[in-house]
Amino acid sequence: MAAERVSVEGLSVSYLSPTGRVDALQDVSFKVHDGEIVTIVGPSGCGKTTLLNAIAGLLSFRKDVLMRGIVHVRDAGSIGYVFQRDALLPWRTVAENVALGLEVRGVPREKRMGIASRFLRMVGLEGYGGKYPHELSAGMRQRVALARALAYDPELILMDEPLGSLDAQTRASLQDEILMVHERTRKTILMVTHDIAEAIILGDRVLVMGGRPGRVNSEYRVELPKPRSSHGSRLEPEFSRLYRAIWDELKEEMRARQTVRQ
Ligand SMILES: Nc1ncnc2c1ncn2[C@@H]1O[C@H](COP(=O)(O)OP(=O)(O)O)[C@@H](O)[C@H]1O
Ligand SMILES: [Mg+2]
């Protein structure tokens, strides 16, 4: 088995505010190995974004956040994060956005622009480097965000519902894009999605989260053949089997939640 890239052990996270304390995660443990794609599904509010932020190291310095447990990332300085909203800088061109991380790292302009155009080509945006984010569709902006995360050449890529705002067609084509990029680069990817189908199509393993505070309820290994495609994978019996199992589990979770509220 490949080496561990991410190791989370007994992680609990609470937010403190003047109005009280919100327990967002409780006793979460799992690992992600090098080259794996692990996907996470779970109802909104179960702590998925909190979990990614904890792994990205964005919570450790916050005074209003209480963390217990262990989060370890090998090469913690080498993480790319694709946020739920594309978070591009509007005053920079597409290529300059993609090259942002490289610029921070001190890569000279000519070299970083060369790298940016290579990754723009990889996500199907050749020739768009000189445009500004507002000139692009939502789907194209998400591709730029993906290219930016990849151009930085991180060992680990975190993605928080990166395709959430896209129509089904664009979504499927970006899923194929992610699969192809992964085939080529073998990066380790941890991705949150609210789409069960997407979690199965992309994931080597699917973690199902639930509860308040959130925890990992179960894990499904996805045995779909590779190379995968968004359309092709949906036709496999293994896909339907997993879809039903995960759907049943999430339905149970929603029911439990409604009972608590009544
Ligand atoms: N900055 C914050 N302050 C207080 N509570 C927060 C904060 N961020 C998130 N929460 C709460 O923590 C829980 C988990 O949130 P989040 O991680 O965003 O869940 P998800 O991404 O699964 O929707 C929710 O109950 C949410 O309201
Ligand atoms: Mg979220």
Task: List pLDDT tens digits, range 97-128.
Answer: 999 989 988 999 999 999 999 999 988 899 99
Q: Domain residue spans in the chain?
A: 4-78+154-261, 88-153
- Residue 192 CA to ligand 2 center (angstroms) comes to 8
Nearest residue (by CA) to ligand 1, atom 3, is 15
Give the closest residue (by CA) to ligand 1 atom 24: 45
Q: Is the pLDDT of residue 49 over 60?
A: yes
- Give SS3 for 65: strand
- Percent of the chain exceeding pLDDT 90 equals 77
* Top mutation candidate among 13, 22, 261 for ligand 1, by most atoms within 8 Å of CB: 22
Q: Select from 72, 79, 31 the least CA-distant residue to 204.
A: 31
Ligand 1 contacts (CB < 6 A) are 15, 17, 22, 24, 42, 44-50
Q: Does an H or E element contain 67, and which?
A: strand 65-73
Q: Kindly give the number of the ligand 1 atom that is closest to the alpha carbon of 43.
A: 22
pLDDT in tens, 163-180: 887 788 888 988 998 999
Helices (H), the chain: 48-56, 94-98, 100-104, 109-122, 138-151, 168-185, 196-202, 230-234, 237-261
Tokens of 255: 């029911």
Mutate-to-test residue for ligand 1 from 11, 12, 15, highest number of ligand atoms within 8 A of CB: 15
Summarised one tens digit per residue, pLDDT across range 196-236 is 999 999 999 999 999 999 999 999 999 999 999 999 999 99
| CA proximity to 7, closest of 30, 41, 40, 37 | 30
Question: 0.85 cut: is pTM over it?
Answer: yes
Task: State the number of CA atoms in the 13 A half-sphere of 185 facing the CB.
Answer: 22
Q: Which two tokens stand for residue 111?
A: 């070299």
Sign, Cα dihedral of 122, 125, 127, 129: negative
Q: Which ligand 1 atom minimizes the distance to the CA of 160?
A: 21
Domain 4-78+154-261 class in CATH: alpha beta
User: Which residue, by CA, sits nearest to atom 13 of ligand 1?
Assistant: 24
Q: Is 65 within 8 Å of 59 (Cβ atoms)?
A: yes
Rounded to 5 degrees, what are φ and ψ at 25?
A: -135, 145
Ligand closest to CA 214: 1
Distance in angstroms (rounded) separating the CA atoms of residues 115 and 152: 9
Determine the pLDDT at residue 146.
87
Report the amino acid identity of residue 159. Answer: M
Strand partners, 20: 17
